[in-house]
Structure 1
Amino acid sequence: MDRWKGIENVVVVGLGITGLSVVKHLLTLDKDIEVRVIDTRNNPPGKEQLDSDVELHTASWNTDWLFAADLVVINPGVALATPEVQQVIKKGIPVVGDIELFAWAATAPVIAITGSNGKSTVTDLAGALAQDSGVKVGVGGNIGVPALDLLIEPCDLYVLELSSFQLETTSNLNLIAAAFLNLSEDHMDRYDGMASYRDAKLRIFANAKYLVVNKDDRDTYPDNIGSNQSLISFGLESGQFTIVSIDGVDWLSNGAHTILPVSDLCLVGKHNVANVLTVLALLECAGIDYKKALPTLKTYNGLTHRCQVVADNRNIQWVNDSKATNVASTLAALSGLDICGTLYLLVGGVGKGADFSELAPELAKLKVKLYCYGKDGDQLMPLHASATRWNNIDEIIEAIAPSLEEGDMVMLSPACASLDQYKNFMARGDAFTQLAKQYA
């Protein structure tokens, strides 16, 4: 089926990395297509990289271009509810995103992952294990490389992270396996409620053969399962891919078959154990022999700034979770931490008006010392009796380093943005990592 039949005029809405990848892809097609770009920003990123033959309209909408288009490709950052986009839809002009174009072009099997938390780690780890199992894999989508750029080099398998925004404009993505990791409140500025947000996420299952769901989160289950689809579950206490205890040792397992002791993982936290179970389920569904890559699984320590162990000396772990810029992310990091010593937890920065009270019950379960810093550090002080107030991370690390003992953990999981003291969360995480290596 030639999905490009009758399409001669394409308008790309939104430039940046994704928009540039769309334009580049369209220009490589062996089709007689005119491509134009609209970006409502005055000086959109990527402007200087745009092909000189492609017209660019900036600083406003151009409805004449939109209404003359045979196809409109919108950036995931542009809401479908935008009035100008709604006008296009009402005129019957197809509106898609870059993932839909990827679906039209991809010929190798595709795995895709969505969820409120953890999808980047699952995507990255799935790609790493597939590669070390001998598969030529392309990893991207909502993480790293735009999906369309993955098509430049032929692959045996594609692994995509997909956001709800990307899924809204995707209808024909055939997947060998799809995972919906979890659902928690997010992006309520784009949705009229949790039901709409969940519906967008569930679109990942529309054309998937294997549907990988979270046994511990019923919201990840599809409302309907097709006759040619199979449901696979993962969970920390039950599911096809789960944890079993044998002679006091917890094992990752696939049904009755044990895979690896949980203690062999470098990753920190039970949420990451669940992420590993998801990866194993996806690779099994894709027919990949992940057992070849178990050495990789043992040494994988996560994405940078996401619950990443950056130093481990004298059995004292230093964990960089600077990506935790909101309460939900820090809750995920704290949930199910398995440490025999004291947790030295660093929180603070710009709170963005968040309600931090949800952290208190989780902190109450832990042997923890809480260190609050930055612009909104005072708001975090009531969370735990051990809380102390500091100016910055440097002061905290210098103070606690001499008292650390075997079995302790020092974790930066701020629950806040970084912009009061750092350029971004990456710079904050890099600073913590440098201190960890200095004092470990």
Structure 2
Amino acid sequence: MKLEGRSVLVIGMGRSGNAALELLRGAGARSSAYDRDPSRLAGLPDDVERHSGDAPPALDAFDLAIASPGVSLPPDERIVPEVDLAAEHLRSTLIGVTGTNGKSTTTALIAACLRESGLDAQTGGNFGTPLCALVESAPEYVVAELSSFQLERARRLRPRVGVLLNLAPDHLDRHGSLKAYAAAKARLADLQRPGDTLVFNADDPWARDVRARDGVRRLGFSERSPQADGAFVESGGLVLARAGRPLLSVPLARLSRAARSPLSNALAAAAAAHAAGAALEAISGALCRFEGLPHRGAEVCTRGGVRYVDASKATNPAAAAVSLSAEPGPLIWLAGGRNKGLDFGGLSAAARGVRLAVLFGESGPALAESLAGSCPTERVARLADAVVRAAEIALPGETVLLAPACASFDEFRSFEERGARFAELARSLSDGGSA
């Protein structure tokens, strides 16, 4: 993709947009930037033409447009996603991870396995650093979390190892249907070429049925059944096999709690990391020492004998159900926020062991309706109110779990901000449970 002297518009000036703009300017493009929020354009270099307003300027005035993943735009061949711009210049071996839930943890696990092997690996994409920002440092490996927003327009990206985790309804407010959302995720397999490897969840109907291109090796992972090529659970151990021959077996009890919650993440990471060149001993060591990521089931404190656990990243019903199943014993569950066009009906079975669900935010009424008959519920206005109410009723030995099943944008800028606020509120409680 020749950029020097071309007129290029960057649409959306978040992290991805700013990384794309820096790459474009370095390549000699005549760069312009658009964002609906004018404050995001402040501080840009003087040679960048700035546009704001309700819609981007007409694309006819530009040779090319680079779209940030968070911006929804109609189909147009002139619009290139930030990940494709990066792919044109990235010299690293790319490992791509997609699915509805578990992407960030699996991405981090794969990178940990590679680093444990002495390889230079960095994470990026939807998790952490935008791919355009990794072009200059050129690590040996880039392990990229890839969202449906990043994949739906991608044409130039090539994951040498691709990972398909699972599919559950999410982001239907943008994609319009589960079929369109699934098709965007499946683009990961379409972007591969002969000689690449596709790692898929054999327990997930969607991942299992995604077709690999001719010449692409398929490796399965499963908690339920042995895999001749891939990773599976057998006799209380995580087993990695090739051509029906076990190469590695790690007792599940040795895996860190973060690596085995859920276990499918560790299975996917083991299969993908080995396919990418990680050593067997390094894979075992990384899975046993992995400390996990914030906001994904992290215990933030204990107050008055009550554990407070932050799973703010559980932004859809399927992820919330997994978080609920991971916590033993009596639970006070905090859920709510902004719905993404999703059905909460599937949460009723997961909530049967919940002593009380404290529901907050815009989705409180809809959640209460869906949970009727499954567990007792109470509604409050905000997250802070939910923490106070939970502290009033939680008993020693119980757990207060934040697993919202919703996006955060009715009250917070991100799930990270929501999780940090939850931790702050919980830590401010006295040992008697009062704020």
Give me the TM-score of the superposition, normalised by structure 2: 0.82
CA separation in 2, counterparts of 1:191 and 1:417?
Answer: 16
Q: Which residue of 325, 335, 340 maps to 1:348?
A: 335
Q: Quick check: 1:202–1:222 contact (8 Å CA) kept in 2?
A: no
Could you tell me which amino acid in structure 2 is paired with residue 70 of structure 1? D
- Alpha-carbon distance change, 14 to 387 in structure 1, aligned in 2, over 3 angstroms: closer
Matched, 1:55 2:49: yes
Q: Shift in Å at residue 151 of structure 1?
A: 1.7
Report the equivalent of 2:207: 220
CA separation in 1, counterparts of 2:274 and 2:283?
Answer: 13
Q: Give 1:31-430 correspondences, 5 Å limit.
A: 31=28, 33-39=29-35, 41-45=36-40, 47-59=41-53, 60-63=55-58, 66-81=59-74, 86=76, 89=77, 94-205=78-189, 206-208=191-193, 209-221=196-208, 223-238=210-225, 239=227, 240-246=229-235, 250-255=236-241, 256-267=246-257, 272-292=262-282, 294-310=284-300, 318-335=308-325, 337=326, 339=328, 342-350=329-337, 352=339, 355-364=343-352, 366=353, 368-375=354-361, 379-380=367-368, 382-385=372-375, 391-397=385-391, 399-401=393-395, 403-404=396-397, 409-416=399-406, 425-430=415-420
1:58-114, Cα deviation, whole Å (9 max, x unpaired): 214322xx2132222122223342xxx64xx3xxxx321111111111112110111
Q: Quick check: 1:22–1:98 contact (8 Å CA) kept in 2?
A: yes
Report the equivalent of 2:16: 18
- Alpha-carbon distance change, 279 to 199 in structure 1, aligned in 2, over 3 angstroms: same
CA separation in 2, counterparts of 1:122 and 1:437?
Answer: 32
1:346-370, Cα deviation, whole Å (9 max, x unpaired): 2234464865432221233x4x422
Q: Shift in Å at residue 274 of structure 1?
A: 0.3
Could you tell me which amino acid in structure 1 is paired with residue 347 of structure 2? L
Structure 1 residue runs of 4 or more that deviate by more than 6 Å after TM superposition: 419-423
CA separation in 2, counterparts of 1:414 and 1:215?
Answer: 28
Q: Shift in Å at residue 216 of structure 1?
A: 1.1
Q: Matched residue of 2:91: which SS?
A: coil
CA separation in 2, counterparts of 1:270 and 1:187?
Answer: 26
- Alpha-carbon distance change, 331 to 36 in structure 1, aligned in 2, over 3 angstroms: same
CA separation in 2, counterparts of 1:420 and 1:189?
Answer: 15
1:331-381, Cα deviation, whole Å (9 max, x unpaired): 23234x374xx13132234464865432221233x4x42242545667536
- Alpha-carbon distance change, 422 to 97 in structure 1, aligned in 2, over 3 angstroms: closer
1:288-329, Cα deviation, whole Å (9 max, x unpaired): 11522534422324221112244589x996532122233232
Unaligned runs of 5+ in 2: none
Q: Matched residue of 2:160: which SS?
A: strand
Could you tell me which amino acid in structure 2 is paired with residue 165 of structure 1? F
Q: Shift in Å at residue 25 of structure 1?
A: 0.3
CA separation in 2, counterparts of 1:290 and 1:437?
Answer: 44
Q: Matched residue of 2:142: which SS?
A: strand
CA separation in 1, counterparts of 2:302 and 2:114?
Answer: 27
Q: Matched residue of 2:250: which SS?
A: strand
- Alpha-carbon distance change, 272 to 14 in structure 1, aligned in 2, over 3 angstroms: same
1:377-411, Cα deviation, whole Å (9 max, x unpaired): 6753635355567853134235435x31xxx6543
CA separation in 1, counterparts of 2:206 and 2:257?
Answer: 26
Sequence identity percentage: 29
Q: Matched residue of 1:175: which SS?
A: coil
1:205-259, Cα deviation, whole Å (9 max, x unpaired): 222500111101131246543332101111111234444342xxx2111123443
Q: Matched residue of 2:333: which SS?
A: strand
CA separation in 2, counterparts of 1:416 and 1:6?
Answer: 43
Over aligned residues, Cα RMSD in angstroms?
A: 3.3
Q: Matched residue of 2:173: which SS?
A: coil
CA separation in 2, counterparts of 1:393 and 1:174?
Answer: 44
- Alpha-carbon distance change, 74 to 300 in structure 1, aligned in 2, over 3 angstroms: same
- Alpha-carbon distance change, 122 to 388 in structure 1, aligned in 2, over 3 angstroms: same
Q: Quick check: 1:267–1:309 contact (8 Å CA) kept in 2?
A: no
Q: Quick check: 1:267–1:308 contact (8 Å CA) kept in 2?
A: no
Q: Shift in Å at residue 122 of structure 1?
A: 1.2
Q: Quick check: 1:310–1:437 contact (8 Å CA) kept in 2?
A: no
Q: Shift in Å at residue 5 of structure 1?
A: 7.4
CA separation in 2, counterparts of 1:400 and 1:316?
Answer: 7
Q: Quick check: 1:7–1:70 contact (8 Å CA) kept in 2?
A: no
Unaligned runs of 5+ in 1: none
CA separation in 2, counterparts of 1:295 and 1:346?
Answer: 34
Q: Matched residue of 1:275: which SS?
A: helix
